[in-house]
Amino acid sequence: MTPRVRRIVFLVAGGVFAVTLAWTFRALPSFGHFNGAYGTALSRVSVPERHITDAVTAVNFDYRGFDTLGEEFIFFAAVVGVALILRAQHGERAEHSADYATGRAVPPTSDAVRVLGLGLTPPTVLFGLYIVAHGHLTPGGGFQGGVVLATGVLLIYLAGEFDDLHGLYTETALERSEAIGAGGFIAIGLLGIAIGSALLDNVLPLGTTGSVFSAGIVPLINASVGLEIAAGLVLLLTMFLHQTIVLRETSP
Amino acid sequence: MNNLAPLPVVVPLAAAAFILFMSTVLSRRAVQLLTASCVVGEIGLSGTLLYQARALNIVYWFGGWRPRAGVAFGVSFTIDQIGAGAAVLSGVVVGIALLTVPRTIRTPNGIVHAMLLTLLAAMAGFCLTGDLFNMFVFFELMAVCAFALAAYHNDSAASLRSALNFAITNSVGAFLVLIAIAMLYSRTGALNLAQIGTSLAGRHADRLVVVALALLLVGFLIKAAVMPFHFWLVDTVSSAPIPLVIVLAGALDVLGVYGVSRIYWSVFAGTLATDSAGVQTLLISLGAFSALIAAVLGLFFESPRRRLAFVMVAHTGIVLIGIGCLSAAGVAAASVYAAADGMVKIALFLGLLLLAGANAGRRAGLMVLGLGGLATAGLPVFATGLGKATIEDAAGHAGYAWAAVVVVVAAVFTGATVFDIASASRRAPPDAPEHQKKSAWVPLAIGGTFCLAASVALTSARRGFASAAARFVDTFDYQQRVLTGTAVHHANQTPVLALAPRGVAIDVAVVLAAIAVASLLPALRRVQPARGIARASNVAHRLHAGSIGDSATWVTVGTATIMAVLLAQFR
Amino acid sequence: MTALQSVMLVFVAAGGSGVVITRDPLRQAMVASFFGILLAILFFTLQAPDVALSEVVVGAVALPLMILVSLAKIRGGQK
Amino acid sequence: MTILPYLVAVWLFVVGMYGIVTSRNLVHQIISLSVVQASTYVLLLAVGYRAGATAPVFADISTTRPVVDPVVQALSLTDVVVGATVTALLLAVAVQIHKRTGTLDPEALLGRTDS
């Protein structure tokens, strides 16, 4: 189809779709009046049964933990997929150096930015760890904390200290951490089978409600998810950056 | 609880993580061996579940969260024989795909192996799960693995573009599924298939329910690559690496139809029971449209892979016709056909691969393609013949005799396409000889033979398919087993899957007609085509040039149409 | 529905449109980042702090960063 | 006006699709896809909202207070992170396409069948 025809066809079909869907949505419970048995039941039992004060975490990592296992592997597959897609083909090295030779002038990172970036890293990492560790108590958890942790590492890059990153980690180490995170979730889940119950059964002591060390396996799963997300994201961005960073270094 | 149930998913996932962890340590051979043993393990585990589910569905609650007062607290696997069988098929297909990996894939680190294992886990999870959102999760996991693999040839613009087309189209499908999940959740407050079904049953299906059904249908039919949602598949099959193509051809695309039938029987059958004609007409029409148009288009394209892609679309349409009859007989026939045809299509792609090789391999390839052509057209020795004939019967019983005619015509054309590919490549000179070991063709030939033999052997499992289908459509039994743990007496009669003399006659006639069409084709090609045909062929080629914008437009058109048609029928 | 919710809903609808009609990818990355923040605020008003946190770290930081980095690659490659 | 959240979800879906359909740049197309995805979050959260209820976090409120539905939040939460990764995967494809062909225009890639 030519772009013009395509646009017209889409506008007609999309219009029908939008109007039909909007008309259908009028049959949804009016906004703010939802009363589902499932959600209500879960938010009533998460504290007494699981000592988890954040019901969303209780759903994600306990009652419906298996969904999260699947989601975690979507993340896993996507990161591995990026590695597959961005892998170097034969002769790509040479082609790159040709790119670099044309090197655009990149302004050197100013000292202020450098200090700011490096200075922000420790608090960001701490904040990430805090979010991961308190997933079962307050909003947050392995997914969000993992992203924050990765951001902390990236601040080092933004500060223009890419060499320092290579001192910090290698891609193999990241891959391994990611694999440990993904495999760890499964290993924790298998505990349930080991004691003769079901996969992902919360078999550890539940502790005191409100304590960081409570809620059984949930903080452990959060930690392993946090590790996977953080390692995976840093790996992801490293793979993208890998292709631009040398440009920076060769510029005067 | 039966702790075997989650293992077909968990074992491959754990192995995938392990392979990534050890990627720099393990040798190529070790990775291949580990992956192969995991696939064999998955087949064994799913096979055991298939056996254990022979009398009663297996219900497994993750985390041990059993339902309370009819409210499902956790996620369940609800395993019946159709689901377990589909998981076995997935394992077999991935296993055969693995045979082709050493020949076609050259990456370090076993990344492709990790992806194939994750893909297998997702397929198994999709087949075994009893929870709508969990189904969505595995649906996405399948898609992500598959489109990353589709981009494997990262030096080919066509391959990359097709991966993007695949990814965007399938993601839109996934979002439609998620919207439907939100709608059903708002109505029933449930995510478990059985609980949603129970909660909807006996109530009038209003537009919320009908549109939710429409969106779920679209989401899964995009995965199944039924027309007009097939553009991504044609594009992907032409340029993706062979292992992925084999997985797509053998099981992955037809799992979309599995998804349709699963949600229909577990969720919607109760509320639409007295009024299912609308859904029936819609599914059968979509299937017939795909079967007919794709079968014809297969004749018009040049690249063998692209032509086989159209054969895939056409045959998925035939499966959809069987499912669309909304009867136990239809489900039984469609499952036999889907399983046998999956095997045959894999054999066809292995045949193509053999043709590209050395002389002995070429001969084997021609043999596989020739026999595969007979199976594609539905020679009665093959279970495809049984499946096709019984789908025709089921369509006739449901009052859609015209759909049975479409099935016959489509099989003639797809069979002819395969014969034509074989004879064209017999005439064509072999490709530039690849530098490879002389014996490299042997495993492929063995794989091809195995697939063809399997499609013959499946005829002997007809009773199993029939009783599995009877239980699959027993909505009430499914729901009670999940929510109360009790078993209800089966109300449905087991259908009889048998090849009547009339069916044999039609099958044989189809095969002969396919051979006749194939032998006429070269002569027809020499004739200057009529203006109309030339123009139509031109348009078809341009439509299948791989435009992502086009795919997205057709998805919108299809969605709007399906929504409107279903709503009109449930006024 | 509170006034804040209505306002945020309208903003989000406008923000989404803005992302789509910004045809230059570099500028689009900025608009997308802003859209992420709007979504996060909306989620907050819908009493979903968990999702809001997710959206803020992903939609407003990680995703735009990834877009910028890939655009850097793309632009860097242009002669 | 109680239908406004649902209308916004529909709007985001359609507008994102419009972006995909009319896009002349792969990166733009991919970001448009994430707008379509945003519509699903808005819908899910709107569906589970309960007027006057608080967030389902009991760190400092009593467990008997009415709270909004935690399930839809759990469904969207993981999806936000995962969706972003999938977007990254698509961006990687776009980068690679640019590396190979020097263009990001979807129209310029049509009809290529080399494999």
Residue B428 in contact with residue B40, Cβ under 8 Å? no
Q: Does residue B458 surpass a pLDDT of 60?
A: yes
Closest by CA to B213, choosing from B253, B137, B287, B272, is B272
pLDDT tier for residue A237 given thresholds of 50, 70 and 90: confident
Chain A to chain D, count of Cβ pairs less than 8 Å apart? 164
Residue A67 in any domain: the answer is: yes
> In whole angstroms, how far apart are CA B303 and each of A209, B310, D114?
65, 11, 11
Domain count for chain C, please give it. Answer: 1
Q: Does residue A59 surpass a pLDDT of 50?
A: yes
Residue D57 bridge partners (DSSP): A54
Average pLDDT over every residue of B73-99: 92
Q: Determine the 3-state secondary structure of D89 from DSSP.
A: helix
Q: How far apart are CA B137 and CA B143, in angstroms?
A: 10
**Residue A46 to residue D74, Cβ atoms within 8 A:** no
**Residue A143 to residue C62, Cβ atoms within 8 A:** no
Q: Which helix (H) or strand (E) holds B127?
A: helix B111-128
Q: Counting Cβ atoms within 10 Å, is residue A61 exposed (0-12), middle (13-18) or buried (19+)?
A: buried
Q: Which two tokens stand for residue D102?
A: 């020097």
ipTM of the complex model: 0.93
Q: What was the pLDDT predicted at A89?
A: 63
Q: What was the pLDDT predicted at A94?
A: 38
Residues 6+ apart with CB under 8 A from C4: C45
pLDDT tier for residue B343 given thresholds of 50, 70 and 90: very high
Question: pLDDT tens across B374-432, in order?
Answer: 899 888 889 998 999 999 989 988 889 999 999 999 999 999 999 988 888 777 665 54
**Residue D11 to residue C16, Cβ atoms within 8 A:** yes
Question: pLDDT tens across A149-192, in order?
Answer: 988 887 877 776 565 566 667 778 888 888 888 888 888 888 88
Query: Which residue reads 């570099």 in tokens?
Result: C26
Q: Does residue B437 surpass a pLDDT of 60?
A: no
Q: Which two tokens stand for residue B87?
A: 């998981």
Residue C53, domain extent? 3-77
Instruction: Give B9-56 as a DSSP string.
Output: HHHHHHHHHHHHHTTTTS-HHHHHHHHHHHHHHHHHHHHHHHHHTTTS
Chains B and D, touching by 3 or more CB pairs within 8 angstroms: yes
Q: Counting Cβ atoms within 10 Å, is residue B48 exposed (0-12), middle (13-18) or buried (19+)?
A: middle
Residues 6+ apart with CB under 8 A from C71: C25, C26, C29, D27
| H helices present in B189-266, as ranges | 193-200, 207-224, 231-239, 242-247, 253-263
From the list D46, D54, D73, the residue facing C50 with the nearest CB is D73
Q: Which helix (H) or strand (E) holds B60?
A: strand B58-61
Query: Which residue reads 């958890």 in tokens?
Result: A141
**Residue D74 to residue A60, Cβ atoms within 8 A:** yes
Q: Return the percentage of chain B with pLDDT > 90, whole number.
A: 43
Closest by CA to B213, choosing from B171, B167, B276, B255, is B276
Which of the residues D31, D91, D98 would you substitute to probe the C interface, choosing the one with the greatest number of C C-beta atoms within 10 Å?
Answer: D31
pLDDT tier for residue B438 given thresholds of 50, 70 and 90: low
Q: How far is D38 from chain C (nearest CA, A)?
A: 8
Q: What was the pLDDT predicted at C69?
A: 79
Domain count for chain A, please give it. Answer: 1
Residue A54 in contact with residue D68, Cβ under 8 Å? no
pLDDT tier for residue B184 given thresholds of 50, 70 and 90: very high
Q: How far apart are CA B18 and CA B26, in angstroms?
A: 10
From the list B156, B178, B191, the residue facing D115 with the nearest CB is B156
Q: How many helices (H) and strands (E) does chain B have?
A: 24, 2
Find the chain C residues whose C-beta atoms sit closer than 8 A to any C-beta of A.
Answer: 1, 48-54, 57-58, 61-62, 65-66, 69-70, 72-73, 76-77, 79
Q: B39-42 contacts: CB < 8 A, separation 24 or more?
A: B39/B12, B39/B91, B39/B94, B39/B95, B39/B98, B39/B117, B39/B120, B40/B91, B40/B95, B41/B11, B42/B8, B42/B11, B42/B12, B42/B87, B42/B90, B42/B91, B42/B94, B42/B120, B42/B121, B42/B124
Q: Does residue D44 surpass a pLDDT of 90?
A: yes
User: What is the C-alpha end-to-end distance of chain C, expressed in Å?
Assistant: 53
Residue B31 in contact with residue B38, Cβ under 8 Å? no
Residue A32 bridge partners (DSSP): D50
Q: How far is D59 from chain A (nearest CA, A)?
A: 5
> In whole angstroms, how far apart are CA D62 and each of A53, B110, D55, D93?
10, 51, 12, 49
- HSE of B105, CA atoms in CB hemisphere, 13 A: 28
Q: Which two tokens stand for residue C69?
A: 């980095």
Q: Counting Cβ atoms within 10 Å, is residue B461 exposed (0-12), middle (13-18) or buried (19+)?
A: middle
pLDDT, chain A, mean: 80
Question: pLDDT tens across B16-73, in order?
Answer: 999 888 888 888 888 888 999 999 999 999 999 999 988 888 899 988 888 888 888 8
Chain D residues lying within 8 Å of B552, measured CB to CB: 17, 20-21
Residue A23 in any domain: the answer is: no
**Residue C66 to residue A240, Cβ atoms within 8 A:** yes
Q: How far apart are CA C51 and CA A214, in angstroms?
A: 23
Fold of D4-51+66-107: Helix Hairpins (1.10.287)
Q: Does residue B173 surpass a pLDDT of 80?
A: yes
Q: Which two tokens stand for residue A22?
A: 């909007």
Q: How far apart are CA A243 and CA B14, in angstroms?
A: 31
pLDDT, chain B, mean: 88
Averaging pLDDT over each range in A117-126, B359-368, B552-561, which range is the top one?
A: B552-561
Write down the domain spans for chain D.
4-51+66-107
Average pLDDT over every residue of B257-266: 94
Q: Which two tokens stand for residue C52?
A: 């809001």
pLDDT, chain C, mean: 85
Q: How far apart are CA B365 and CA B446, in angstroms?
A: 11
Chain C residues lying within 8 Å of A150, measured CB to CB: 62
Average pLDDT over every residue of D6-23: 93
From the list B61, B543, B563, the residue facing A20 with the nearest CB is B563
**Residue A182 to residue B547, Cβ atoms within 8 A:** no
Q: How far is A112 from chain D (nearest CA, A)?
A: 30
Q: What is the CA radius of gyration of chain A?
A: 24
Question: pLDDT tens across C6-42, in order?
Answer: 899 999 999 999 999 988 888 888 899 999 999 999 9
Question: pLDDT tens across D76-86, in order?
Answer: 988 888 888 88
Q: Which helix (H) or strand (E) holds B61?
A: strand B58-61
From the list B74, B114, B154, the residue facing A63 with the nearest CB is B74
Q: Which chain D residue has the Cα nearest residue C59?
A: D84
Residue A222 in contact with residue A135, Cβ under 8 Å? yes
Question: pLDDT tens across B491-533, in order?
Answer: 667 888 888 888 888 888 888 888 888 888 888 877 877 777 8
**Residue C66 to residue A147, Cβ atoms within 8 A:** no
Q: What was the pLDDT predicted at A167?
A: 62
Instruction: Give B408-424 as a DSSP string.
Output: HHHHHHHHHHHHHHHHH
Q: How far is C4 from chain D (nearest CA, A)?
A: 12
pTM: 0.93
Q: Which two tokens stand for residue B82?
A: 């159709």
Q: What was the pLDDT predicted at A247?
A: 40
Residues 6+ apart with CB under 8 A from B559: A13, A17, B176, B214, B215, B218
Q: Counting Cβ atoms within 10 Å, is residue A196 exposed (0-12), middle (13-18) or buried (19+)?
A: exposed
Average pLDDT over every residue of D56-64: 79
Q: What was the pLDDT predicted at B108?
A: 61
Residue B236 in contact with residue B551, Cβ under 8 Å? no
The type of residue at A13 is: A
Residue B275 bridge partners (DSSP): none
Q: Does residue D12 surpass a pLDDT of 90?
A: yes
Q: How far apart are CA B252 and CA B240, in angstroms?
A: 14
Q: How far apart are CA B434 and CA B446, in angstroms?
A: 20
Chain B residues lying within 8 Å of D86, measured CB to CB: 140, 144, 167, 171
Residue D57 in contact with residue A53, Cβ under 8 Å? yes
Chain D residues lying within 8 Å of B182, measured CB to CB: 40, 43-44, 47, 72
Q: How far is A241 from chain C (nearest CA, A)?
A: 6
Residues 6+ apart with CB under 8 A from B536: none
Q: Does residue B356 surpass a pLDDT of 50?
A: yes
Q: How far apart are CA B166 and CA D94, in angstroms?
A: 13
Q: What is the CA radius of gyration of chain C?
A: 14
**Residue A56 to residue C66, Cβ atoms within 8 A:** no
Q: Which two tokens stand for residue A199?
A: 């996969």
Chains B and C, touching by 3 or more CB pairs within 8 angstroms: no
Find the chain C residues whose C-beta atoms sit closer than 8 A to any C-beta of D.
Answer: 1, 5-6, 9-10, 12-13, 16-17, 19-21, 23, 25, 28-29, 32, 35, 39, 42-43, 46-51, 54-55, 58-59, 62-63, 66-67, 70-71, 73-74, 77-78
**Residue B546 to residue D112, Cβ atoms within 8 A:** yes
Q: Counting Cβ atoms within 10 Å, is residue B56 exposed (0-12), middle (13-18) or buried (19+)?
A: middle
pLDDT tier for residue C76 given thresholds of 50, 70 and 90: low
pLDDT tier for residue A103 given thresholds of 50, 70 and 90: very low
Question: pLDDT tens across B278-323, in order?
Answer: 899 999 999 999 999 999 988 888 888 889 999 999 999 999 999 9
**Residue C62 to residue A150, Cβ atoms within 8 A:** yes
From the list B20, B191, B550, the residue facing A38 with the nearest CB is B191
Q: How far apart are CA C45 and CA C62, in angstroms?
A: 22
Residue B126 in contact with residue B9, Cβ under 8 Å? no
Chain B residues lying within 8 Å of A20, measured CB to CB: 211, 560, 563-564, 567
Which of the residues C31, C34, C46, C57 would you substitute to probe the D interface, choosing the one with the greatest number of D C-beta atoms within 10 Å?
Answer: C46
Q: What was the pLDDT predicted at C2?
A: 84
Instruction: Give B423-470 as a DSSP string.
Output: HHHHHSPPPPPPS--GGGHHHHHHHHHHHHHHHHHGGGGHHHHHHHHH
Q: How far is D73 from chain C (nearest CA, A)?
A: 6
Q: How far apart are CA B185 and CA B168, in angstroms?
A: 25
Closest by CA to D42, choosing from B297, B541, C43, A9, is C43
Average pLDDT over every residue of A36-62: 85
Average pLDDT over every residue of B122-136: 94
Q: How far apart are CA A184 and CA B479, in angstroms?
A: 34
Chain D residues lying within 8 Å of B183, measured CB to CB: 47
Hey, which chains touch B, using 3+ CB pairs under 8 Å? A, D
